[in-house]
């Protein structure tokens, strides 16, 4: 059987190729894709040729564990589909069940049953596309560890930023603020539960946010700042907003982009901590009590609460994949979450 698979073939060019699937083994299933989500962060680095060439794509995911970021390459990690066939060691009752997988964009996949995640009954397939990014959001919030009455700033309101804001809106914070340059995303940020949102390109907005963070203490600032813009320059803004002994959680993957960060002045005197956060692993301080299954369970719960399907701006037929990436590259202000539809 053939599958239509998406390949990044060179910067700013993707192709859909027919690919022969391997025979189904006893412990494997055949999954027909329904939807898959484009990561406007990581995947756009691949699309633009900005992935570091000295690392594998993702050691924690079997589909990418040995794949170097050299063209042509496959990517994508938010695929939702229906099981069509099962190997002889798999219960036939699994046929027809809808599952999530961390597999690249493609119309069909052959994979092991333990590499897919069954959807809860009250989650629809379009919502399930957000599982990977919601797990990332949960991991970021765990790494930020905001406390009762903390003031928190989220830089960047792309999909991950909006999901982080939605998760944080469930916390008893003294203030939850976002910084985002695009008007439409600031509106979505308010809808996600942020108390106030500000533009980084408006000097008055930045002054107003700094004043708000220092209302009760001249040395005040944000207890936690999440840097989720994908732009290294935002790190300096994070340092400016952070309070004495505050934490900056970096969830952006900059790829080959270099960060010029000012480590003098405020950073030097304020005992700031910069935390690298990445969803592939469990934070060491949590690993004795948390595992991936527990984190996925929380992510599903947060999907139910945040209802991220409303963030889908475009549902694009898989055959028009190149148009979807061009849209994200040329007009990010017009696209929030873009997903592929495989239903012919």
pLDDT at res. 214: 87
C-beta separation of 125 from 34 below 8 A: yes
What are the sequence ranges of the domains in the chain? 2-119+307-341, 136-276
- Please state whether the predicted TM-score (pTM) of the whole model is above 0.85: yes
Supply the DSSP string of 245-263, one letter for each residue.
Answer: EEEEEE----TTPPP----
Query: Can you state the percent helix, strand and coil of the chain, rounding each to 5?
Result: 30, 25, 40
pLDDT at res. 183: 95
pLDDT at res. 288: 94
pLDDT at res. 258: 84
The partner residues of 179 in beta bridges, in order of sequence, read 155, 198
pLDDT at res. 68: 77
pLDDT tens string, the chain, 344 residues long: the values are: 899 999 999 999 999 999 999 999 999 999 999 999 999 888 998 999 988 877 766 666 666 656 778 899 999 999 999 999 999 999 999 999 999 999 999 999 999 999 999 999 999 999 999 999 999 999 999 999 999 999 999 999 999 999 999 999 999 999 999 999 999 999 999 999 999 999 999 999 999 999 999 886 767 899 999 999 988 889 999 999 999 999 999 998 887 788 888 888 788 889 999 999 989 899 999 999 999 999 999 999 999 999 999 999 999 999 999 999 999 999 999 999 999 999 87
If you search the block for the tokens 């699937």, which residue do you land on? Answer: 21
Supply the DSSP string of 15-84, one letter for each residue.
Answer: EEEEEEPPPPPTTEEEEEEEEEE--TTHHHHHHHT-S-TTS-S-TTSTTTTT--S-SSB-----EEEEEE
CATH architecture of 136-276: 3-Layer(aba) Sandwich (3.40)
pLDDT at res. 63: 61
Structure tokens at 111: 């994979």
pLDDT at res. 37: 98
pLDDT at res. 261: 85
pLDDT at res. 343: 84
pLDDT at res. 266: 84
The CATH number that domain 2-119+307-341 falls under is: 3.90.180.10
């Amino acid at each position: 059987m053939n599958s239509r698979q998406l390949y990044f073939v060179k910067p700013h060019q993707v192709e859909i190729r027919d690919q022969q699937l391997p025979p189904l083994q006893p412990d494997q299933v055949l999954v027909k894709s329904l939807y898959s989500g484009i990561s406007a962060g990581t995947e756009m680095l691949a699309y633009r040729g900005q992935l570091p060439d000295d690392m594998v794509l993702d050691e924690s995911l079997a589909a990418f564990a040995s794949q170097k970021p050299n063209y042509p390459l496959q990517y994508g990690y938010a695929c939702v589909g229906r099981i069509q066939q099962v190997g002889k060691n798999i219960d036939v009752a699994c046929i027809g069940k809808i599952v999530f997988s961390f597999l690249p964009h493609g119309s069909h996949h052959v994979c092991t049953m333990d590499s897919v995640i069954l959807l809860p009954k009250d989650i629809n397939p379009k919502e399930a596309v957000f599982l990977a990014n919601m797990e990332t959001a949960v991991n970021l919030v765990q790494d930020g560890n905001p406390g009762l009455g903390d003031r928190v700033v989220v830089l960047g309101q792309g999909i991950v930023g909006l999901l982080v804001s939605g998760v944080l809106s469930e916390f008893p914070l003294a203030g939850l603020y976002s910084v985002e340059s695009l008007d439409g995303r600031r509106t979505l940020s308010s809808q996600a539960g942020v108390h106030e949102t500000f533009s980084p390109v408006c000097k008055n907005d930045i002054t107003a946010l700094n004043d708000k963070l220092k209302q009760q203490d001249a040395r005040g600032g944000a207890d936690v700042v999440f840097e989720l813009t994908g732009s290294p320059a935002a790190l300096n803004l994070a340092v400016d907003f952070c309070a004495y002994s505050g934490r900056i959680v970096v969830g952006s993957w900059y790829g080959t982009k270099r960060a010029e960060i000012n480590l003098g002045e405020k950073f030097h005197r304020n005992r700031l901590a910069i935390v690298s956060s990445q969803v592939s692993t469990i934070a060491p301080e949590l690993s004795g009590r948390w595992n991936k299954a527990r984190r996925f369970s929380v992510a599903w719960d947060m999907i139910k609460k945040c209802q991220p399907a409303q963030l889908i701006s475009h549902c694009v037929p898989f055959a028009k994949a190149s148009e979807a990436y061009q849209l994200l590259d040329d007009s990010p202000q017009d696209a929030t979450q873009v997903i592929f539809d495989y239903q012919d």
